[in-house]
Structures are given as structure tokens and as C-alpha cells.
Structure 1
Amino acid sequence: MKIVDVCAFYTPTGGGVRTYIDRKLAAGPAAGHDVTIIAPGATNGVEQRGPGAKIVWLQGPLFPIDRNYRYFADEVALHAAITAEAPDILEASSPWRSASMVARWPGSAPRSLFMHADPLAAFAYRWFEGLASPAVVDKGFDWYWRHLLRLDQHFDMVVSACDSLTDRLAAGGLRRVVTNPMGIDPDVFSAGLRDEALRRRLLHQCELGPDATLLLGVGRHAPEKRWRMIVEAVMSAAYHRPIGLVIVGSGRDSGKIRRTIGGNPHIHLADRTSDRAEMARFMASADALIHGSESETFCLVAAEARASGLHLITPDRGAAADHARQSGGTIFASGDATSAADAIGRFVDARAAGTLPVPPATPVRTMDDHFAALFASFEALRQPKLKRAA
């Protein structure tokens, strides 16, 4: 099966989408499929990733809001690239303009839209919090829901990676939504990788001793990740408790985050790493993962933290909350630094008293599970077409 994924969010400096696509480029050929990613780049070109796996780069302008990304500006060129690949299955990995371009491609291949992004949760709900509820914001952004409903008419399947997003899409009127959670890389993340010496070093970077609590944050330094709110919450919770916070990542908000930290020695910013083994040791050696964004559509970092044996402290909306609820984590009100500080305090106090709930012994889904289900759903979409051809 030839799978072509038009992925506007793919970039070498990206986060979760880059990790996912790189994994797909390995999983597809391993399952006997040919996978081509079409992505916007600085120049036109083809990057071969091995037998049956490649990236076709189409020159596109920089995205003005986040210059780590580019976008498709030439629909004719995109359609020509898709036609040249002759897909059996055509995917779109963004709900925006590129999905409309894919919908207008004149070929007959079945189409799947993967909701890698939840724009209202990432932007609009955050912009208007304190002024309007998500339900009221949805009414104000009715044009977005009308756009999704039009896409729903042109795509044979809309893939959501978490129940909370599936529920919102279905409530908004989409009829072809299926839930297929993503997962972690098998045999990479494990609680058995805990390294007490590494934990002591990380706490030492936070100018704290080994009796302190070590919180870990992982993700891009972008407004929707809410790192400044997390920093404020940690500083508040640490007023009467020894708490260190290490945030692994980088991005355009780094300067603002540093100014919020304001020289606090107990909060340390660490450069992002693409070394998965190193990240797995970081995960296993902390005491909890703290996450601020309620706009995640799967929250890969939360799944990796669960596999690493970490307690989760998350907002009460979005995919991170799904992971926390499934693993007995601690929840706070989305976007509320006071509530987040209270959640941190509850976790630290319960950990010190030995009263943290034991997480349920449920296995964390792997990416192999996800791709097996995804490829099976693609085969099911192809069957009516194959029968007609016969």
C-alpha cells in the first residue's frame, strides 16, 4: 500500500509531530507499506529515508507566527507532487489550508485527516480565558467548525488521538471521527532506567539536595505550552517545600520564561535533546512530570513519562489529562497558576507522607499498536475501491 502524508507540521526542529512522522517512516516499510511524506521546506527536494520511505520537500514560505515552520503556498505544485506519487491512501496532517488542498486534489484515493493539532484549545480558548467559556468561544469561532464540517464531507476518515478531542469533534457534528491513540517507542522508556546519580546532579543544578522533589517539564518554549504559568506555580508551591524544576526544551518564548524565573536558582532550563535514550534516563530519574498545555491532541511526553514510572501533574483538559486520569495523576484547573501550585503541593506532601495512590497496572500503548491499527483502517478504506475495480 502506497501511503502519502501531506504534513504541513513536519520540520526538522519540530516536536511531537516530527517524532511521530519519523516513527511512521520506519513503521510503514516494516509493515510492507511505502510511505512518502510531503512537507514544506526551504527548497524543493527529495530526502530518502531508506527503502520505501522518503520525504518530498516543496519550497514554502516561513510561517509568520512560528518561524520553525513553513507552509504550502502553491496548490498546483502540491497536487502535482501527490499525483506523481500515485497514492493508495492520501493523508492530511493539519486541519488548516493544506487539508483543503488535499480535499481538492482530483484523484480518487481514499483520504484521511489526522488531527495533530487542536487550534481552538491551543489559541482561542487561551486568548479568551477568564472572559468566555470554551462553549462560548466555539460559538464565536463557528467559521472554524463550519470548515471542519466541510472537511468531514471530503475525507473518508478523521483520526483523533484522544477521547477528549474525539468527543469535541463529534459534538461539533463531524461524523467520520475515529479514535486511534498514539503511543511510545517500545523498549525505550522504562522506570528501570532510573538513575539516582543523575537525579542528584539535576537537583544540584537546581541548588537543592537529594531530599528535594524533582519536577520535570518537557516541550517547546511556546505560549500554548504555558511554561511561565508552570514556573509561577512551582515557585509558589516551593515557598514552604524544597522543589526543583528542570524544563527540557527550547523555542521563541525562552527569554520570557527566563524573565519569569528571574534568577530563581531552583528552576533550570536545559537544552532540548534529540537523543531518545538520554531523554528516557531524564524521564525515569525525576519524581513527576508537570505539563501545562491543555491543547495536546495526544501528549506523547505524558505517555513517555507514564512508561518511565513518573507521576503526572496536568491540566484538566486535553490529552495530558487523559493520561493523568488513566494513571492516577494529579489534576489542576487549566490555565490557573494557583490551582497548579495547589496540585504540586498536594503531590509533594503526599509523596513525603507515602500516601500517593498506586497507579493502575495498565500497559502504555506503543507506537507499534498505533500504526498496526492505522494501517488496518487504511486497508479497510481501500476495500470498496478495490471491489469496484474488480
Structure 2
Amino acid sequence: MKIVDVCAFYAPGGGGVRTYVDRKLAAAAARGHEMIVIAPGQEDAIEVRGPASRIRWLRSPSFPLDRTYRYFADRRALHAALGEERPDIVEVSSPWRSASMVADWPGDARRALIAHADPLSAYAYRWFGGVADRATIDRAFDWYWRHLRRLDTRFDMVVSASESLSQRLREGGLRTVVTNPMGVEAGLFSPSLRDEGLRADLLARCGLPPHATLLIGVGRHALEKRWPMLARATTRAAAQVPVGLVIVGDGHARRSAAQAVGENPHIRLLAPIRDRARLARLMASADALIHGCEAETFCFAAAEAIASGLPVIAPDLGGAGDHARRAGGLLYRSADEKDAADAIVRFARERDRIARPASPIRTMDQHFDDLFLAYAGAPRSAAA
């Protein structure tokens, strides 16, 4: 089977989507499939990843809201690339321009829309949540739901990574939604990697003794991740309990997080850790993972934390909250700094009595097995 992923969010400095796609390239090759990723790049280029996998960059302009990314602007170029590749199935990883372009492509390949992003949660609910409830915001953005329903009629499936997102999509009128949860990289994250010496060193870097609580946050610095809010919440909590926070990541909004940290010696911003084994050791050595984004469709960081034996402190909406619920973590009201601080204090005072979660059973291998089986069984689309 030849799979082409039209992926607008695949970028050299990308976060979870890039990690996911790189794993999928390897998984497809291991199962005998050919896979090509078409991504917006600085120049037209081909990046060979293996005998049956490559990245095909199409020259594209920068995305104005986040310079880390670019966006597909040339419909003809994208259609030409798809025509040259002649895929059996095309998947598209953004509900915006690229999805419409793929829907309009006159080829007869099967088509899947992957719900990697939840734009209403990432933007509209975050912008207007202080003045209106979600139902009111949904009515104001009914044009977006109409757009999704139109796409739903032109794709063979819409793949969602969590049941909470699937439920929202179905309630919005989509009829081809299938839930295929993601998972963790098998054999990498484990509680056995916990290193008390590393934990003590990290706490010392935060100016704290070994008996203090060590929280870790992992993810790119973007406004929807709410790192500044978590920094302020940790500062609030530190007035009641000794707690340190280490945030691993980078991105265009890093300055906002640094300003929120200010002169607080108990919070440290670390550069991204590309070495996955090193990240797994670091994660297992913390006391809990804390997350601030209510717009996650799955949340790899939370899944990897649970696989590392860490409780998760997360907002009560989105993929991170789904993980926390299943694994007995702590929830706080989304976007509520004081409630997040209260959750940190509660965890710090009760951490010795909070059971560490067992590693989740589901792995990325199982996710990809299910995905490729669904692709193989999907009916062939009629030419547009």
C-alpha cells in the first residue's frame, strides 16, 4: 500500500506532530508499506528517509501566527505532487486549506482526515472562554462546523485520537469519525529509569532540597500550552509547599514563559531534549508531570509520563485530562491559575499516598496496526 501524508504541521522545529509522523514513517516501512510525507518547506526538496519513505517538501510561505510552520498556498503544486505519487490512500493532518485541497484533488485514492489539531480549543475557546460558554462559542463559529461537515462528506474517514474529541466531532454532525487512540513508544519509557541522583540534582538546580516536590513539563512553547500560567501557579503553590518546576521545550512563546518565571529560582526552562532515552530518564526521575493545554487531541507527554510511572496534573478538558482521569491523576479547572496552584499543593502534600500509575498497555505499534488495517479496508473514493 502506498500512503501519502499531506501534513501542514510537519516542520523542522515541530513538536508532537513531527514526532508522530516520524514514527509512522518507520512503522509503515516495517510493515511493507511505502509512505511519503508532503510538507510545506522553505524550498522544493526531497529528503530520503529509507528505501520506501521520504519527505517531499513543497516551497511554501511561513504561517503568520507561528513562524515555526509554513502552509500550503499552491493548490496546483500540491495536486501535481499527488498526481506524480499516485497513492493508494491520502491522509491529511490539518482541517484547513490542505484538507480542502486534498478533497478537491481529482485522483481516486482513498482519503483520511487525521484530527491532529483542535482549532476551536486551541484558539476560539481560549480567546473567548472568559466571556462565553462553549455552546455559545460553537454557535458563533458554526461556519467552522459547517466546513468540517463538508469535509466529512468528502473523506472516507476522520480519525480521532481520543474518545472525548470523537464525541465532540460526532455532536458537531460528523458521520465518518473513527477513534484510534495513540500510544507510547514501546520499550522506551519506564518507571525503572528513575534516578534519585538526577532528581536531587534537578531540585538543587531549582534551589530546593531533595524532600521537595519536583514537577516536569514537556512541550513546545506556544500560547495554547499555557506555560506562563503554570509558572505563576507554581509560584503560588511554592508559598505553601516546597516545589520546583522544570519545563523542557522551546518555541516562539518562550519569552512569555521566561517573563512569568521572572526571578523565581525554583523554576527552570530547559532546552528541548532530542535524545529520547535521555528524556525518558529525566521524566521517570520527576514526581509528576504537569500540563496546561486543554486543546490536546491526545497528548504524548502525558502518555509518556504515565508510562514512566508519573501521576499527571492536567486541565479538566482535552487529551491530557483524559490521561489524568484514566491513571488516577489530578485535575484542575482549565485555564484557572489558582485551581492549578491548589492542585499542585494538594499533590505535594499527598504525593506519598498517591499511587503511581502502571504503564499504559497501548503502544504506538498497536495504533499503527489499527490505522493501516483501517486504510486497507476503506472504500475507494470516487474521483472529485
TM-score (normalizing by structure 1): 0.96
1:232 corresponds in structure 2 to: 232
Partners of 1:44 and 1:253 in 2: CA distance: 28
- The answer to whether 1:370 aligns with 2:356 is no
Specify the code of the residue in structure 1 equivalent to 2:182.
M
CA contact (8 A) 2:308 2:359 kept: no
Q: CA deviation at 1:201?
A: 1.0
CA contact (8 A) 1:303 1:364 kept: no
2:146 corresponds in structure 1 to: 146
Distance 1:362 1:214, change over 3 A: closer
Partners of 1:36 and 1:146 in 2: CA distance: 30
1:136 corresponds in structure 2 to: 136
CA contact (8 A) 1:314 1:321 kept: yes
Q: 1:356 pairs with 346, 351, 354, which one?
A: 354
CA contact (8 A) 2:246 2:267 kept: yes
Partners of 1:287 and 1:157 in 2: CA distance: 39
Q: CA deviation at 1:357?
A: 4.0
Partners of 2:163 and 2:18 in 1: CA distance: 22
Distance 1:202 1:362, change over 3 A: closer
Q: CA deviation at 1:364?
A: 3.6
Q: Deviations over 1:232-258 (max 9, x none)?
A: 111111102110000001111111211
1:4 corresponds in structure 2 to: 4
Identity of aligned residues (%): 60
Q: CA deviation at 1:358?
A: 5.4
Specify the code of the residue in structure 2 equivalent to 1:371.
F
Q: CA deviation at 1:278?
A: 0.9
TM-score (normalizing by structure 2): 0.98
Q: Which runs of 4+ in 1 moved over 2 A?
A: 361-364
1:322 corresponds in structure 2 to: 322
1:310 aligns to what SS in structure 2? Answer: coil
CA contact (8 A) 2:309 2:356 kept: no
Q: Deviations over 1:170-223 (max 9, x none)?
A: 000000000001111111111111111111111111011111000000111111
CA contact (8 A) 2:190 2:359 kept: no
2:63 corresponds in structure 1 to: 63
1:24 corresponds in structure 2 to: 24
1:322 aligns to what SS in structure 2? Answer: helix
1:184 corresponds in structure 2 to: 184
CA contact (8 A) 2:203 2:214 kept: yes
2:38 aligns to what SS in structure 1? Answer: strand
Unaligned 5+ segments in structure 2 are none
What RMSD over aligned residues (CA atoms) do the two structures have, in Å?
A: 1.0
Partners of 2:368 and 2:204 in 1: CA distance: 40
1:388 corresponds in structure 2 to: none
Partners of 1:244 and 1:44 in 2: CA distance: 45
Partners of 1:235 and 1:13 in 2: CA distance: 29
Q: CA deviation at 1:363?
A: 3.0
- The answer to whether 1:163 aligns with 2:163 is yes
Q: CA deviation at 1:362?
A: 6.4
CA contact (8 A) 2:306 2:360 kept: no
Q: 1:380 pairs with 356, 377, 381, which one?
A: 377
2:52 corresponds in structure 1 to: 52
- The answer to whether 1:255 aligns with 2:252 is no
Unaligned 5+ segments in structure 1 are 386-390
